[in-house]
Amino acid sequence: MAKIREIRVNPWERSSGGHIAMPTQARRATSEPRANDQEMASTSSLRLRRGAAQRHALAGVEREIRSNDRNGQRKYLKDFTQAYRSYESVLHADELGDLLLAGDIVLIGDYHALPASQRFAASLFEQRAHAGDRPVVLGVETIFARDQHILDEWWRREIDEDELRQRIRFDLDWSYEWAPFYELLVTAREHAYAIYGLDCMPRNDLRKIAARDRHAAHKIAEIRQRHPSAAIMVLFGEAHLAPGHLPRLLRQKFPQEQLLTILQNVDALYWQAAGEQHEHVQAVRVAEDVACVFNATPLEKYESYRVQLGRWGQAESEAPDLGPTIYNLIDSLLRFLDIDRYSPRNGRQPKFLVDLLPEVYCGASDAGLRRQLLRRGATEEQISAMLGQVEERGSVYVPQVNAFYVRELQMMYAGEEAARFLHHACRGLPLQGNGRGSTAEFADRFYSRSLEHAVAYFGSRVLYPARPAVRLEDAEFSRTTCQRLLQRAKRAQECEFDAIAQQLGYMIGSAAYDEYLAGGLVPAALKHVLLSRLEEPGAAKKLCIQLAARVRGRKKPPLSVGRSGAPNSALLA
């Protein structure tokens, strides 16, 4: 049995100029709903619903970041946020590709604290190089121009990765994550004609930042002299890419060349795009020569910066503290669902949910997790599955010990596990201390597990709206679908049980999220699911089928396939 897999297309990531500019309020919609789509909600309603849970989470992150970084109100940084407030049109992937091919000099915004930002630059660079129509060279802000000889030695394979990192003083002068930047360098060495450092001192003095722009423009001019026919791709902090900053200087030096600026996840543009009828907007055209791609949410972006702030205050060997991030996600879902974590009695609210908050282990060893689970009676098969999830998704919530194990922040999956915790906490943590799990009848176990996955998936979508939908390709989701999957689970091996329950749960959660966006399902309905007594015989089945019937009617084009590549409906056979 293949597990469901959601496919993310075009892994575009986010960037910044090393300093933070805080989230802006969503602007009023500039586009009207399509007249031929009667089922969709209005633009303003879509924006409100897609952003509701994120805004709760952003409020807490914003307060902490502002208390640690007071540069957000500097004019240089505000030039960037004020320049990019709206866009002209939505871009499809092939349209962005055409813009990329046409660019002689391509400026890519970098949000230094978000590793995905550098990984996007690497993927974009590889895409451009594979076109094969002209040489491609890379310029980076991360490396000082004074250290070009060190970079050249690494390029010629005369020194290794460790020596390069030490000699360019990466941890001392840059101090963001090394791995994603090094992946970019390796990609460029495989595909580029050359790599150049573009930056100069001082980096920590915003009064001199314009001088750094002039220096970078001069270095890019030198690159053009050395490589007259090459496409020059430049990764620089996003604040430098305001129209009046580095782009203006380059236009003065190269009036005949096609300059393209590719931004990542600009807040105002993200919130505007949240009102589009498209399920997920991947890119927009801001101006004739400016595009913005979306691969991370504002919450993901600023949580990454908060983690970076914490890392700067820790010893180098310590794992980053992701506890505040996990608790913030949980608190955001509680606010979204109107759940009072301080309620002194059960009923419409769980009793003192604040006392049930989980432990959060960051960077914990596999051996430590294994020991804890073995003490709770978990099987080796269960432990291996949990360790595999941490490896693949970056985090896992383990209800037997009421704890999160987080190795890296992948917001989509962290949001899913936060919602999974709420599913258990609102029922009083029934599995805590019980490694063997439920002893209920098979159908009750199956439907209860499916509801857990439905809640988890729905929660991840309200925190990470860009998550791909999960739908059948050639069959309508219905009560019959639930029954067919139950029968398949009965015939399958025990090891396939959770994959089938996950398939049903994800489909219910995805359909419920569609219904929520359309205004047909309110958060109180999910709160009802969380507070239901699923341990009673037949309760899980009844609730699962009721929820399936409630959300079955909204049809959308299929966006997901199974791990084998087959449509999800093929897994029902």
Structure tokens at 347: 């009923």
Of 169-173, 267-271, 392-396, 525-529, the one with minimum mean pLDDT is 525-529
Q: DSSP characters for 151-196? A: HHHHHTTSS-HHHHHHHTTHHHHT-S-HHHHHHHHHHHHHH-SEEE
First to last CA, the chain: 11
What does the mean pLDDT of the chain come to?
A: 84
Q: Is the pLDDT of residue 4 over 70?
A: no
The phi and psi torsions of 433 (rounded to 5 degrees) equal 80, 5
Q: What is the pLDDT of residue 313?
A: 72
pLDDT, mean of residues 48-63: 86
State the CATH class of domain 11-24+39-296: alpha beta
Contacts of 446 (CB under 8 A, 6+ apart): 486, 489, 497, 500, 501
Are 269 and 261 a contacting pair, CB within 8 Å?
no
| H-helix or E-strand spanning residue 230 | none
Average confidence (pLDDT) over 208-220: 96
Of 391 and 19, the one with more pLDDT: 391
Q: In degrees to the nearest 10, what's the CA dihedral of 33, 34, 35, 39?
A: -80
* pLDDT reported for residue 316: 62
d(CA 472, CA 481): 10
Asked whether residue 482 carries a pLDDT value surpassing 60, the answer given is yes
Residue 118 has pLDDT above 90, yes or no: yes
CA pair distance 260, 233, nearest whole angstrom: 10
Q: Is the pLDDT of residue 217 over 80?
A: yes
Q: pLDDT value at position 11?
A: 30
- pLDDT-based confidence at residue 492 (cuts at 50, 70, 90): confident
| 31 or 235, higher pLDDT | 235
pLDDT of 54 strictly over 50:
yes
Tokens 């031929």, residue?
A: 36
* pLDDT at res. 48: 87
Give dist(CA 438, CA 94) in Å, integer.
Answer: 49
What's the mean pLDDT in 277-302?
93
What are 329-386's pLDDT values in tens digits? Answer: 999 999 999 999 898 876 777 888 999 999 998 876 677 777 877 877 777 877 888 8
pLDDT category, 496, cuts 50, 70, 90?
confident
Choice among 55-59, 104-108, 347-351, 497-501 with the minimum mean pLDDT: 347-351
Mind listing the pLDDT tens digit for each residue in 60-89? Answer: 888 888 777 766 678 999 999 999 999 999
In terms of C-beta distances under 8 Å and separation of at least 24 residues, what long-range contacts does 207-213 make, across chains too? 209/76, 209/239, 209/240, 210/76, 210/245, 212/240, 213/240, 213/245, 213/246, 213/249
For the residues of 306-339, what is the DSSP string, one character each? HHHHHHHTS-TTSPP--HHHHHHHHHHHHHHHT-
What pLDDT score does 364 carry? Answer: 64
Q: Which tokens hold the place of 113?
A: 């604290």
The pLDDT assigned to 476 comes to: 64
Give 351 or 395, the one with higher predicted confidence: 395
Q: Report, as an integer, the average pLDDT of 316-328.
A: 82
pLDDT exceeds 80 at position 446: yes
Quick one: what percent of the chain has pLDDT higher than 70?
84
**Residue scoring higher pLDDT (313 or 35):** 313
Domain ranges of the chain: 11-24+39-296, 308-572
Query: Confidence class of residue 437 from pLDDT cuts 50, 70 and 90?
Result: low
Q: How far is CA 269 from CA 69, 247, 272, 333, in A?
A: 23, 19, 5, 24
Structure tokens belonging to residue 214: 């002039």
Instruction: Say if strands 259-264 and 105-110 run parallel, antiparallel, or are unpaired.
Output: parallel
Contact criterion met (CB below 8 Å) for 552 and 456:
no
The radius of gyration of the chain's CA atoms, rounded to the nearest angstrom, is 25
Mean local confidence (pLDDT), 506-520: 91
Report the pLDDT value the prediction gives residue 36, as an integer from 0 to 100: 40
The string over 555-564, giving b where at least 16 C-beta atoms fall within 10 Å of a residue's C-beta and e elsewhere, is: eeeebbbbee
pLDDT at 436: 52
Percentage, residues of the chain above pLDDT 90 = 53
